[in-house]
Structure 1
Amino acid sequence: MSNQNLFAALRAAFPTDLDSVAIETDTGLHYTWRDLERGTAMLANLLAGLDLPPASRVAVQVEKSVEALMLYLATLRAGHVFLPLNTAYQKAEIEYFVGNAEPAVVVCTPKNFGWVSKIAFSSGTKNVFTLGDDRAGSLLERAAHCSDQHVPVQRSEDDLAAILYTSGTTGRSKGAMLTHGNLLSNAQVLKDYWGWQPGDVLIHALPIFHVHGLFVASHGALLNGSKMIWLAKFDPKTVIENMPRATVFMGVPTLYVRMLAEPSLDQDAVKNMRLFISGSAPLLIETFNEWRERTGHTILERYGMSETAMLTSNPYRGGERRGGTVGFPLPGVGLRVRDEQGNEVPTGEIGGIEVKGPNVFKGYWRMPEKTKEEFTADGWFKTGDVGKIDTSGYVTIVGRSKDLIISGGYNVYPAEIEGYINEMPGVAESAVVGVPHPDFGEVGVAVVIPKPGAQIEGDKIVGTLKQQLANFKIPKKCYVVDQLPRNQMGKVQKNLLREQYKGEFLAR
């Protein structure tokens, strides 16, 4: 029986010349494919030497580094389950994740060892290591004594490879269980769909505690035997400087906005680039259009989530990349839109998005009831996203079902209203959230960021909307602010806005 371990498939794709450069960092370090092979073997042997139960969880909260990527690959190689944790998480969050996942191994940054090890040891974790972004820490010190030969542990496609905790904007975070088969099937589909080719070089400027940076970007380059230009943090100037030596870039919308603010971004800077991909948050049509005008390249938008990896994508070739849409379901992915009664909605109508495919996760870690709730009787996963499919088959995401505002019995979709506000002169971006109201149950509140130097007034925005939309959709208030709260992937944190403005209409 062939080994379905995801690492074995990635390793098989390494180029024949193992001494060619696999990863080049922004600090001037060069890692060859042989370095990846040996480094992951030594780390896998370190894990093997700890005598862990099969499929133990390895929880990791460290800064981005090539060694951190090697630790992920080594965890797969050793047959264990990788648990990446956002570097922004604080004590209470880490207590919850460690208590819930019960990892056998915890790896943290040297500076956090004091408080993280206390949490880990009190939860029964026996092994705590440190790993710094400067190659310091006890993990590498211990691994240095291990053999650099290792045979990947036998795994089936249904065995767990990773647990990703969802951001938990409603209630406590849930651990999405992804298998070797989930991740490999998705990486293989994307390799073909996005036209990965010999000689491709990826600029990797994303964090690696999230689907986008850890799976989509890293797997893409590794499965293609492609070099990565590895940036610890996103810096627009540095990315643009590296474009002449690269062909592929993946980013969240905020990164594109920040690059557009750089005078050095022009057609000459991107002439060697093949593909720009955007995801993890909605890309404003204005950014989409401005990027095309400035660079001659059309950004490819796609859609995925922690529970499913990638689900849809605009076409790389043989079709139009449409701004404001996330393209078509990927090969092998089923996608349907249904109403609250479970009936498929007519083309162009809005409903809940449900998906099915080899990329869809096994369920939520230790939450059988929640898992059951999130799947339909016929086995489709309810994404919690609201959207529509047009007559050409393009999928458009309208928002999250939890963002839906039900005002006086009418459904209001924030993304629709944001679309109108974002087109108004002087508006850089907006967010619309629902807050409690004594008469209507819930009403919309708009929070708007002006463009640099622009003077905008909330009342005037509301007045303009009244000429464009049905009255029940109009936000009752509009606030002009300097910035919107975002998570590290650039998504606007609407839960924080709802919390901030929830008392606006109740006191009266």
Structure 2
Amino acid sequence: MLLPIPFFIFRNMNANLFALFESRFPADRSACCIETHDGLYYSWDDLDRATAKMANLLAALKLPEGARVAVQVEKSPEALFLYLATLRAGYIYLPLNTAYQEAEIDYFVGNAEPAVVVCSSANFGWVSKVAFRHGTKHVFTLDDDRSGSLLSRAAAQPDRFATVARGADELAAILYTSGTTGRSKGAMLTHGNLASNAKTLHAYWGWRSDDVLLHMLPIFHVHGLFVASHGALLAGAKMIWAPKLDMAQILKFLPRCTVMMGVPTYYVRMVQEPRFDDDTCRRMRLFVSGSAPLLMETFDAFRERTGHTILERYGMSETVMLVSNPYDAQDGERIGGTVGKALPGVSVRVVDGDGKPCAAGEIGNVEVRGPNVFKGYWRMPEKTQEEFTADGWFKTGDVGRFGGAIVSQAGERKVPDDYLTIVGRSKDLIISGGYNVYPKEIESFIDEMPGVAESAVIGVPHADFGEAVVAVVVGKPGASLDALSLIGGLKGRIANFKVPKRVHVVDELPRNTMGKVQKNVLRQQFGVL
């Protein structure tokens, strides 16, 4: 017979994400937690004391319950500590892209109404005006050289702090989506959302306490803040911390590392570097790529150069990670062009326009559910309801298929029926002459053509067809691409309605800070035939 659990045990449980990390700190708190690119070392005890000081500072401000702390600063260990301190103090963290300008910050601060805003000293003049205009009472500065008013004020605070108790369903962070169509939406992530995903990835990717993570990603985004940092923190593993992609630092630090996470651009640069080889990767056990599609050419070239197969995965601001190619070979192989299988505890389905399941190989809308799926959009109950089905599945807005085949220079390869391939975003769907055209499919054919480095396919208004297919193509160094020849090369390989009506050859594609091609920018540039 099961005995009831006493109430005082429930009362003493703390689902605060920081409490989970704290429980996994190594026994030796003097061990190195973060080593920076410029030779600084932060121990686990340093992390504990620094977050305690910052948490005490936030507590001393007497902020209201559920207060938001908005942060737009350059990457530094102290910026990570501020995130952890916000959790520890029981408040809600709101990271903001460092590329955002005044009009964008004005919207985010006005929408989220943070009680605290932290910015760089260089931006303090205009950020503080925006913040005070929207009723924010506290504005601090934090710079990547360990200076700023936040650290000055925190230095006087005690270095011990009892982590505030939080329930699994209480908010830990709000992440604003990129907002390529309409206003950005604030995805509300709970302590339980983030903890469940961190623990799942810890097990599925085989994190160990003796791992060393090369951390070169920004920390205002899911990939760098939640996937990479949470992985190391939960494992009690060391991080080597660099502000951004730098090949000299990769060549210097990677031989000491076991895990690296990056966007596709990182791996393209690594393959292009003559000094990068299998010896550089001698201790590595895992390379992860995400946030944007990885070209098959890069996937194959990296494996040929190093002997390592990049692990591709799929996630969103609203869900953190959903799907991953296997880490353990016993769970299956890593297949380029796919994002792999649903993570343990996560459900993924592909459905047609009527919500009916698609057969293997059929393209449809990707929907998900699980403990990692966000609570909803900040102050947008109608939008939240709209983005969930009646039976509780979140509509990702992505288009994909299970199974099917991947086409590459090596030929066509069948994909297992439990592997997901993302075809594109539903908003990028082109309807030409009544036919659905999925840009990713056409891009895969163009990218395999001689002299092509990469491509992006968009739909533009057309008087006869409603929309016409247009391709924007980047050539490889030294290649001379002819638009008419590219169009001719596609005819006979794909249906005529999929063949681009026009091809534009450019030097590079516009991308955001996470490497995603900005198709909204391309539509503005090439939206007229």
CA shift for structure 1 position 299? 0.2
- Over the aligned positions, Cα root-mean-square deviation in angstroms equals 0.6
Q: Which residue of 2 aligns with 1:61?
A: 72
Task: Please give the alpha-carbon distance, in whole angstroms, between the structure 1 residues aligned to 2:136 and 2:21.
Answer: 30
- Secondary structure in structure 2 of the residue aligned to 1:51: coil
Does residue 1:40 correspond to 2:65, yes or no?
no
Question: Is 1:95 the equivalent of 2:100?
Answer: no
CA contact (8 A) 2:454 2:473 kept: yes
Correspondent of 2:139 among 103, 106, 128 = 128
Partner residue of 1:469? Answer: 494
1:325 aligned partner = 338
Mapped partners of 2:208, 2:41: distance in 1: 22
Gaps of at least 5 residues in structure 2 are 1-9, 404-415
- Report what 1:387 is aligned to: 400
| 1:75-117 Cα shifts (integer Å, max 9, x gaps) | 0000000000000000100000000000000000000000000
Helix, strand or coil for the counterpart of 2:244?
Answer: coil
- Residues 351-393 of structure 1 show CA distances to partners (whole Å, capped at 9, x for unaligned) of 0000000000000000000000000000000000000011431
- Aligned residue in 2 for 1:263: 274
Equivalent residue for 2:152, pick from 131, 141, 148: 141
User: Which residue of 1 is the match for residue 442 of structure 2?
Assistant: 417
Q: Percent identity among equivalent residues?
A: 69
How far off is 1:264 after superposition? 1.3
Q: Tell me which residue corresponds to 2:327.
A: 316
Give the one of 283, 299, 306 matched to 1:288: 299
Residue 162 of structure 1: SS of its match in structure 2? strand
Gaps of 5+ in 1: none
- What corresponds to 1:404 in structure 2? 429
Aligned AA for 1:462? I
For 1:35 and 1:458, the matched residues in 2 are separated by 58
1:446-469 per-position Cα deviation (integer Å, ceiling 9, x unaligned): 000000011111111111111211
Mapped partners of 1:117, 1:51: distance in 2: 20
1:193 maps to which of 185, 188, 204: 204
For residues 489 and 267 of structure 2, the distance between their equivalents in structure 1, rounded to whole angstroms, comes to 29
Amino acid at match of 1:187: A
Cα distance in structure 2, aligned partners of 1:456 and 1:241: 37
Q: Give the Å deviation of 1:240.
A: 2.5
Distance (Å, rounded) in 1 between the aligned partners of 2:272 and 2:14: 48
Query: Structure 2 residue aligned with 1:430, among 429, 448, 455?
Result: 455
Deviation at 1:497, TM superposition (A): 0.4
Please state if 1:22 is matched with 2:13. no
Cα distance in structure 1, aligned partners of 2:488 and 2:82: 55
Q: CA deviation at 1:482?
A: 0.2
Conserved? CA contact 1:237–1:259, under 8 Å: no
1:389-425, Cα deviation, whole Å (9 max, x unpaired)? 1143110000000000000110000000000000001
Match of 1:372 among 382, 385, 400: 385
Deviation, structure 1 residue 310: 0.1
For residues 470-485 of structure 1, what are the structure 2 equivalents within 5 Å? 470-485=495-510
- Paired with 1:107 and 1:197, the residues of 2 have a C-alpha distance of 33
- Does the 8 A contact of 1:237 with 1:262 survive in 2? no
Q: Conserved in 2, the CA contact under 8 Å of 1:408 and 1:442?
A: yes
- 2:95 corresponds to 1:84: yes
Aligned counterparts of 1:460 and 1:236: Cα–Cα separation in 2: 36
Equivalent residue number for residue 160 of structure 1: 171
Shift of 1:348: 1.1
Q: State TM-score, norm by structure 1.
A: 0.99
AA at the equivalent of 2:254: M
Task: Give the CA deviation at 1:44.
Answer: 0.2
Residue aligned with 1:151, SS: coil
How far is 1:197 from its partner? 1.6
Q: CA deviation at 1:241?
A: 1.9
Moved over 4 A (4+): none
- Write out per-residue CA displacement over residues 470-490 of structure 1, whole angstroms, 9 at most, x where no aligned residue: 011011100110000000000
**Does residue 73 of structure 1 match 2:81?**
no
Aligned length: 504
1:298 matched residue in structure 2: 309
Name 1:3's counterpart in structure 2.
Answer: 14
Determine the C-alpha separation between the residues in 2 that align with 1:500 and 1:448.
Answer: 13
Take 1:275 and 1:264, find their aligned partners in 2: how far apart are those partners? 20
Tell me if structure 1 keeps the 8 A contact 2:360–2:417. Answer: no
- The answer as to whether partners of 1:203 and 1:230 remain within 8 angstroms in 2 is yes
